A = this chain, B = another copy of it.
Amino acid sequence: MDIQEFFGQSSGRWFSQRTSHHLAFKQTESGQSQLTIELVPVTDAAVIALCQQYEIDPSLASCGARVSWDGTMAWDEEKHQGSTVLVTVPDAPDSLTGQLLREVGYAEKTPVAGRYVMGDDGSLTLITEYETMYSEERLWFASPNLRLRTSILKRFGGFSMATFCSEIRLGVTKPPEEAATVAASK
């Protein structure tokens, strides 16, 4: 699977169950959210603007996606809503590695591009290094309708958090009582 196929298969609406293990405190936090992933053509104004923010030639972009989320985490019980645009820029036209660009909030100083690696096993690994933080995320499909994600976060040199998400595709037209199991099995 290449990055275009991975983005294509990710497109849609997902129900996401997320759990974070806070390693030093030995505590667990869980939450749920609905994710919407829409593919965006690489000629879209949002893709071009993001490339320009990172000072990258927009014609090198291979994929674009808008990711929106709407959910809650147990600890604060607040609604977490938002959306971002992601763009991939391969190291060479057919490379399995490259840069991942994300929209930067106003509070952040300079944009930090992540690195992505498509594995032989169809997994997508994303690595982002900030000044005091390092994040490594792995995403893979157990089936076309069940996507799994793990991430580990390092702060000041020590691992601080491990997170797991299981994401079930929504909108698969089956009777409600079967939908989740059936969707995940397809």
Smallest Cβ distance from A99 to chain B, in angstroms? 21
A166 and B21: CB pair below 8 A?
Answer: yes
Give the residues in chain B near A121, CB-CB below 8 Å: 119
Task: Report the count of interface residues on A (CB-CB < 8 A).
Answer: 35
Among A28, A120, A159: residue with most chain B CB under 10 A: A159
A158 and B185: CB pair below 8 A?
Answer: yes
Q: State the number of copies, please.
A: 2
A157 at the interface (CB under 8 A from B): yes
Report the bound CA distance from A15 to B148 in whole Å. 23
A26 and B21: CB pair below 8 A?
Answer: no
A-B contact pairs, 17 of them (CB 8 A): A15-B26, A19-B30, A19-B164, A21-B166, A23-B146, A23-B168, A23-B180, A24-B180, A25-B180, A26-B180, A30-B30, A136-B142, A143-B159, A158-B181, A158-B184, A159-B181, A162-B166
Q: With contacts A23-B181, A158-B182, A158-B184 known, what are 17 further pairs, Cβ within 8 A?
A: A19-B28, A19-B30, A19-B164, A21-B166, A23-B180, A25-B180, A26-B32, A26-B180, A119-B121, A120-B120, A148-B150, A158-B185, A159-B181, A159-B185, A160-B184, A162-B164, A164-B164
